[in-house]
Chain A
């Protein structure tokens, strides 16, 4: 749930999603769900020359399972909040592991 919640805080921010087939797509994050499927708006492929077939596409839905990385805009990440949540999550995991 941590990732889902975290990605939700980034909605309406510009992110770059790197797919497992090496395509990198930059766009405004519009929606994310519990599978971490991602909807991007106003997209632009980073290496446009290589993937001309995507140059006409304006928005995409990316299946969560094909995502390799999400590059985050550092200024829109609330580090403190994220750290707290991560710590709590880790504590929870530790309890469950017992």
Chain B
């Protein structure tokens, strides 16, 4: 008997039956059918309603007062079967099954409770009142749509039967139902939308709403809060969906199955938040599922799996499989469903046979079953698709059979025959993946075989070197296939294999084959690239026509092996000369290196790297593709992206071949990084990385920002900003010319060394003259008057007495001036006039003036004041703080910003070459405070500022930033010894003793009271040999010192032990 599917069909089916039921026996059969129906559709309110109503009517009918026309005997028997208890029980069961259907569970409930109340009305008993009160209580703690009505009913009920308890009862109910109301309120929007959709009669809308609701509900289920209620409601929703509009929706069923199965595994793992009896039985669920959606292969597969897990007998599982194959709809959506089902079945067979305890019979059954499954699938496919059927692209069944044959039956030849057969099918033969799988299998077989051979006969030498020739044969066969989709990969593995395992002769042959094939492949690739380029050109042309403004042209980079394919090289179009922004570009002459080092074209992006990737690993990964100049690795939460720079652009192009290769456990992407980098300049001087990131982040993800070193020229103010995507870089060009706070107009260009521009200005145009030895009394206008003899003077500058820079109108006039005025007398002096040359070194220091007022400063810096006492700021020396460890990419404005927390300074001089700065403060006390703040202040991750002495500053070379290492490498101690540090002003000139510095020193810092081992200690002229103090000594030192350390603020004085310098002093 084919059972109906879906609630409507069930109701119709039983309805039909009950109309014909005229005697007691038939009625009992109807009840049985109803039982079947509710087990098939346990969540269906329709079925339950029909069932309960029918049972109730039967109960009524068999009462003596009934006029249903039953014979008295039937009534007699009926009364014993259809009792009032059974009927009420049934209502209860029905209610429990559907109570979490938020929207419509009230239909059943209302009917039930009205019956109950009617019963009570007939005979009011204490117990009856209590029972109904209890029912109401339960009902009101379950969220449902008509809560208010239920509550209303309850209140009526109470006032009728139990007036004295009314107040307390209602209060209690309201409290305990708070949660239910809240849960329902959360779902109210969905319910409203759903009911609207239902009213409009639009089935598609109802489905859409329902799906959305289910998605939301599943998400709720994950939350910790109200786990139990959410789970129940979720189940209720699913039963609504699966008995209603979505009854034959694959996704919803799969959602449901996954939910149930996860909850079950949760149960097993003991981390379930719901109790075991709530989770429906997996097998039941799946049985219902395959009834509703018999075409869904995955569901069948799960069904078989669940049956296996539940340890059903073989016959039962086989019955499921037969049910599946007999279902006419299994191939409704093509062969996928069939294949899914069959692979689950074969997997089951295999596992039964592989089980070490499996009987001989099971193995036989499995073997027969596997091969017949294979046959069945083939026939099925041919029946459906005729000759065009190509088999499973993943050859899952074959894989299982091969594994079974290899491992259980040890029928290597049989398994190999299957591989062979598979390779006849062009679908597989074209896939490199297939060949590699075969190869791996052969190697496994070979290894197992060798291990077996080795144990009984240790002397394998007699048989010659064992080689996996069969594995080698796989490659030779693979390479014969002309249409292989990725021959490069096969070649790569082939070569490696031959190197590793094969005899010299075979290796040589392999080399030959590889060489020949590679040539063939290259030709083929070239052809393909041409075609691709042709297609791309056409596409581009089409796009050009569509949008002529869009000039960014995406020529796809083929990942062909380094072969230069004409279409894939990007032609750079020269951009129109920029005229206005040109002279603002602070390019330095060191850019000459940049042309040699063409970062822009030698760089590739590496994406989806594992998070633990290191520079070394990446370098190794590209070992065969050329020299890696630089790696810029940025780590994300669970992956990393690296920018890898090669020495040559050819290398970079070759490296693109590694796209899609595994790196660790990830498949990485390699993409060219051409045109991802912007040259940005003319931003505000104090702009730091964060500022620029904020400025540009709207256009895409920024990989890195590279600032130039300021060592050679502190005035440099530009940076290279690399985006992750080329499109972002192009989008960011919009910011070119943007005005940023005041005078700065941002310059943004795609970085390209070919577009380098030289500085322009009087000096570059050779119009500037350098005049030396002019009389000290001469002012600018007098010099100008003197030079007017040679031509028109544009400007005169006298930076310091005796020297002037004169800018003439033209180059010729400047030359004329040299001829005329050089070595001629000017006033009393013979002056020297020469073309002004760019300084060999650019400006190395930069000065910023801080906000702190101090008129004394310039004077006091120029002249070393010798008197320290008296008012004012004190000795300049005391007011200065020397900072070391400033990154060489930071300009003075940024350092100034960095020092803000340490208080306002008067003057800041940045010595980029030495990686430091000298900051002057208002007075010594603020300098000391600043020192305390600055020492150890973090600039960038891992890089800390430190306070030192002027000597240290000028001896240090400026730090090269090395990520991860300690950037504050200390200068060599030997060097420090050379200069005895200048002592404070009152101190007599120090005797010529070499004295290692004690504080701000280069040696590992020593704690209080310790001395350098082995050095003589002399206190007050008496030399002592101080052994290194242990912690115990140290403690006694403290305690013996009269408890003055622990006093804190006691007595108004904080006492502090002063560092003993006995060790390091002479």
Contact = CB atoms under 8 A, between A and B. Distances in A.
Contacts of B187: none
A70 B73 CA distance: 117
B936 A20 contact: no
Nearest to A5: B931
Contacts of B936: 85, 88-89, 91-92
A88 B984 contact: no
A64 B1061 contact: yes
A8 B1054 contact: no
Contact of A69 (B874, B923, B925, B1058): B1058
A81 interface: yes
A35 B966 contact: no
Interface in B842-869: 868-869
Contacts of B981: 34
Contacts of B983: 33, 35, 37
A31 B874 contact: yes
B1065 interface: yes
Contact of B1019 (A5, A8, A11, A20): A20
A67 interface: yes
Interface in B967-992: 981, 983-987
A57 interface: no
Interface string A48-67: 00000000000101001111
A82 B966 CA distance: 25
Contacts of A39: 868, 984, 986
Contacts of B1000: 1, 4, 34
Interface stretch (B318-326, B730-738, B942-950): B942-950
A53 B765 CA distance: 75
Contact of A11 (B924, B998, B999, B1062): B924
A77 B949 contact: no
A48 B804 CA distance: 64
A10 B932 CA distance: 12
Interface in B121-163: none
A43 to B, nearest CB: 12
Given A1-B935, A37-B987, A74 B925 contact: no
A6 B981 CA distance: 20
Interface in B905-951: 923-925, 927-929, 931-933, 935-937, 944, 946-949
A70 B928 CA distance: 17
Contacts of B931: 1, 4-5, 8
Interface in A23-52: 30-37, 39, 41
A70 B1019 contact: no
B1057 interface: yes
DSSP class of A's interface residues: helix, strand, loop or mixed?
A: mixed
Interface in B481-509: none
Interface residues of A, number: 53
Contacts of B71: none
B47 interface: no
A39 B1000 CA distance: 20
A89 B985 CA distance: 29
B925 A67 contact: no
> Which has the most chain A C-beta neighbours within 10 Å: B927, B929, B948, B983?
B929
B1061 A36 contact: yes
Contacts of A10: 925, 928
A35 B933 contact: no
Contacts of A16: 1053
A74 B874 contact: no
A59 B986 CA distance: 11
B1005 interface: yes
Nearest to A93: B1005
Q: Considering residues B924, B981, B1004, B1055, which has the most beta carbons from chain A within 10 angstroms of its beta carbon?
A: B924
A79 B1049 CA distance: 11
Contacts of B1059: 3, 36
A96 B969 CA distance: 11
A17 to B, nearest CB: 9
A2 B868 CA distance: 22
Contact of A35 (B998, B1049, B1053): B998
Contacts of A91: 936
A4 B179 CA distance: 65
Nearest to A9: B928
Nearest to A85: B932
B1061 to A, nearest CB: 5
Interface in B1041-1066: 1044, 1049, 1052-1062, 1065
B1049 A31 contact: no
A89 to B, nearest CB: 6
Contacts of B923: 11-12
A3 B933 contact: no
B875 interface: yes
Which one of B925, B937, B1044 has the greatest number of beta carbons of chain A within 10 Å? B925
B1055 A89 contact: no
Nearest to B970: A96
A34 B1058 contact: no
B1011 to A, nearest CB: 11
Contacts of A41: 869
B22 interface: no
B1020 interface: yes
Given A31-B875, A31-B878, A67 B1058 contact: yes
B997 interface: yes
A95 B949 CA distance: 22
Contacts of A11: 874, 878, 923-925, 928
A36 to B, nearest CB: 7
Contacts of B947: 1, 5
Nearest to A66: B1020
B984 A77 contact: no
Contacts of B1019: 20, 65-66
B878 A3 contact: no
A62 to B, nearest CB: 10
Nearest to B1053: A71
A82 B1060 CA distance: 20
Contacts of B984: 31-33, 37, 39, 61
B935 A88 contact: yes
B935 A85 contact: yes
Given A2-B935, A36-B1061, A8 B1049 contact: no
Given A35-B998, A67-B1058, A68-B1058, A8 B924 contact: yes
Nearest to B986: A61
A60 to B, nearest CB: 9
A36 B1004 CA distance: 18
Contacts of B924: 8, 11-12, 31
B1061 A6 contact: no
Nearest to A81: B932
B1061 A65 contact: yes
A1 B925 CA distance: 15
A74 B949 contact: no
Contacts of A13: 925
Nearest to B982: A33
Contacts of B949: 34
A27 B947 CA distance: 28
28 contacts: A4-B1000, A5-B932, A8-B925, A8-B931, A11-B874, A11-B878, A11-B924, A13-B925, A16-B1053, A30-B869, A30-B874, A34-B981, A36-B1058, A37-B984, A39-B868, A61-B984, A61-B986, A64-B1061, A65-B1019, A68-B1058, A70-B1058, A71-B1054, A74-B1052, A74-B1054, A78-B929, A92-B936, A93-B1005, A96-B1005
Q: Would you list the 4 A-B pairs with minimal beta carbon distance, nearest first?
A: A8-B928, A5-B931, A88-B936, A9-B928
Given A66-B1020, A78-B929, 20 more contacts: A1-B947, A4-B999, A12-B923, A13-B925, A33-B983, A34-B981, A36-B1058, A36-B1061, A37-B987, A61-B986, A64-B1061, A69-B1044, A72-B1054, A72-B1055, A74-B1053, A81-B929, A81-B933, A88-B935, A92-B936, A96-B1004
Interface of A: 1-13, 16, 20-21, 30-37, 39, 41, 59, 61, 64-74, 77-78, 81-82, 84-85, 88-89, 91-93, 95-97
